Amino acid sequence: MSHHFVRFENVHYTYPNGYEALRGVSFCVTHGQKVALVGTNGAGKSTLLLHINGLLLPTKGSVVVGGVPVERKTLPLVRQSVGLVFQNPDDQLFMPTVEEDVAFGPSNMGLPAVEIERRVEEALGAVGALALRQRAPYHLSGGQKKSVSIATVLSMEPAVLVLDEPTSNLDPQARRAIIRLIRTFSHTCLMATHDMEMVWELCERTLVMREGELVADGSTTSIFEDEALLERCGLEPPYALWRESHETQEEGAECFAEALSAETR
Ligand SMILES: Nc1ncnc2c1ncn2[C@@H]1O[C@H](COP(=O)(O)OP(=O)(O)OP(=O)(O)O)[C@@H](O)[C@H]1O
Ligand SMILES: [Mg+2]
C-alpha cells in the first residue's frame, strides 16, 4: 500500500476522431499527496484521469501506478489499487439499488458478506448518503448520484483515489461531507475540479492544464499567486484570495490618491 505513486511520462492521447487531447504530459504524484488538476473546459483533465486506471491507454508515452505500467494485461492489477470516480455519475451507477451499487466492487473482490456490509455502511456514511441505501440510483438527483458514485469507489478502499469533479452539483452540506472525506483520505488523491475553494483547502499541489498540455505544476499557493498564469489559462483564484488581493490593491489605490491629494494641497 505504501508506494502508490502515479507517474506520467510524455503521455499523448489522440481520440479515434483524430483529436489530440493530451500532448506530452509528464508528472509524478508521490504516495499520500493530494493533488488538484485544474484547467478550462476541454483542457484535457478527464482524458488524463481516464489514463490512471487504463480506461484510456496512451497513444504514445507511459503511465505507471505503484510501479505497475498501465497496459492491457495489467489492468486487473492496476484497478485493484485505483478507484476512479467519473465526472458523470450515470457512467458509474448501474445496479437496481444504491446499496447493490456500493456493494458491487467488494462483492467482485470475493469478500465475505459481513465485510461487504461493513464497507457499504462506511462508504455511504462517509458521503452522508446512508438514507439512500434502498433507493434506485436512476431516480436520484444529480448531487445524490454524485455522492453515491463516490461511495461505490470508497467501498473498494483504493490506494489511489481519482476524482473527476467531486463537488459538482453538490449542495453545501454534501460538498462539506466530501471535503471532509478527502481530507481524511490518507493515500494518494488526484482530483480534477473547477472548485478552487476546495483546491485551496485540500491540495498542497496543483497541476494546470491548457489545450492538452501540462503548463504548470507547483504548490497550490504558488499557482494561485501567479496572476499571469491564471489569466493565460482562463482560471481564477479562490474568492478569499481574490478578495484579499483586490482589497490590497484598493487600499493601495486609496493610499496613492491620499498621498497625491496631500502633495497637491
Ligand atoms: N470521445 C471523444 N472523442 C473526441 N474528442 C473528445 C472525446 N472526449 C473528449 N474529447 C475532446 O478532448 C478534449 C479534452 O476533453 P476532456 O473531457 O478531457 O476535458 P476536461 O478538461 O475534462 O473538460 P471539463 O472541464 O469540461 O470536464 C476536448 O476538446 C474534448 O472535446
Ligand atoms: Mg472533465
Predicted local distance difference test score (pLDDT) of residue 250: 66
Confidence grade of residue 258 (pLDDT, cut at 50, 70, 90): confident
Nearest-ligand number for the alpha carbon of 14: 1
pLDDT band (50, 70, 90) for residue 71: very high
249 has a pLDDT exceeding 70: no
Atom of ligand 1 lying closest to residue 49 CA: 18
Beta carbon of 234 within 6 Å of any ligand 1 atom:
no
Domain spans of the chain, in order of start? 6-93+158-257
Of the pLDDT bands very low, low, confident and very high (cuts 50, 70, 90), residue 1 is very low
pLDDT of residue 241: 78
- 40 Cα nearest atom in ligand 1: 25
Q: Where does the pLDDT of residue 256 fall: very low under 50, low under 70, confident under 90, or very high at 90 and above?
A: low
pLDDT, average across residues 178-205: 93
Report the share of the chain in percent with pLDDT over 70: 93
Q: Has residue 3 got a pLDDT over 70?
A: no
Exposed (0-12), middle (13-18) or buried (19+): which is 259, by Cβ within 10 Å? exposed
Residue 204: what residue type? Answer: E
Q: What does the alpha-carbon distance between residue 93 and residue 246 come to, in Å, rounded to a whole number? A: 43
**In the CATH scheme, what is the homologous superfamily, with its name and number, of domain 6-93+158-257?**
P-loop containing nucleotide triphosphate hydrolases (3.40.50.300)
- Tens digits of residue pLDDT in 206-246: 999 999 999 999 999 999 999 999 999 999 999 877 777 77
Q: What is the mean pLDDT of the chain?
A: 92
Counting every residue, how long is the chain? 265
Average of pLDDT values for 78-103?
A: 94
Query: Atom of ligand 1 at shortest distance to CA of 44?
Result: 18
Q: What is the structure's pLDDT at 260?
A: 67
CA dist list (Å): 91 to 154, 187, 201: 16, 24, 28
**Ligand 1 in reach of 187 Cβ (< 6 A):** no
- This prediction has a pTM of 0.90
Residue 48 Cα: closest atom of ligand 1: 18
Q: How far is the CA of 171 from the centre of ligand 1 (A)?
A: 26
Indicate if ligand 1 lies below 6 Å from the C-beta of 193.
no
Ligand 1 centroid from CA 86, angstroms: 13
168 touches ligand 1 (CB under 6 Å): no
- Cβ of 47 closer than 6 Å to ligand 1, yes or no, is yes
Query: Span 147-164, mean pLDDT?
Result: 94
DSSP letters for 115-163: HHHHHHHHHHHHTT-GGGTTS-GGGS-HHHHHHHHHHHHHTT--SEEEE
- The SS3 call for residue 44 is coil
Residue 192's DSSP bridge partners are 37, 164
CA of 20 to the centre of ligand 1 (A): 10
Does the C-beta of 17 come closer than 6 Å to ligand 1?
Answer: yes
* For range 109-137, the mean pLDDT: 95
Rounded CA-CA distance 37/217 in Å is: 9
Atom of ligand 1 nearest to the CA of 43: 21
* Weakest-pLDDT range from 20-24, 92-96, 250-254: 250-254
User: What is the spatial distance between Cα 133 and Cα 87, in angstroms, rounded to a whole number?
Assistant: 22
pLDDT in tens, 167-187: 998 899 889 988 988 988 888
Q: Return d(Cα 73, Cα 93) in angstroms, integer.
A: 25
Ligand 1 centroid to Cα of residue 212, in Å, is 9
Return the pLDDT at 252. 66
Report which protein residue has its CA nearest ligand 1's atom 16.
Answer: 44
Q: Does 138 score more than 80 pLDDT?
A: yes
Grid coordinates representing 52? 490512471
User: Which comes out higher in pLDDT, residue 127 or 11?
Assistant: 11
CB 156 within 8 A of CB 106: yes
Whether the pLDDT of residue 2 is over 50: the answer is: no
Q: Would you call 95 exposed, middle or buried from its count of C-beta atoms within 10 A (0-12, 13-18, 19+)?
A: middle
Distance from the CA of 43 to the center of ligand 1, in angstroms? 7
Site to probe by mutation for ligand 1, drawn from 11, 47, 164, 235 as the one with most ligand atoms within 8 Å of Cβ, is: 47
Cell for 36? 488538484
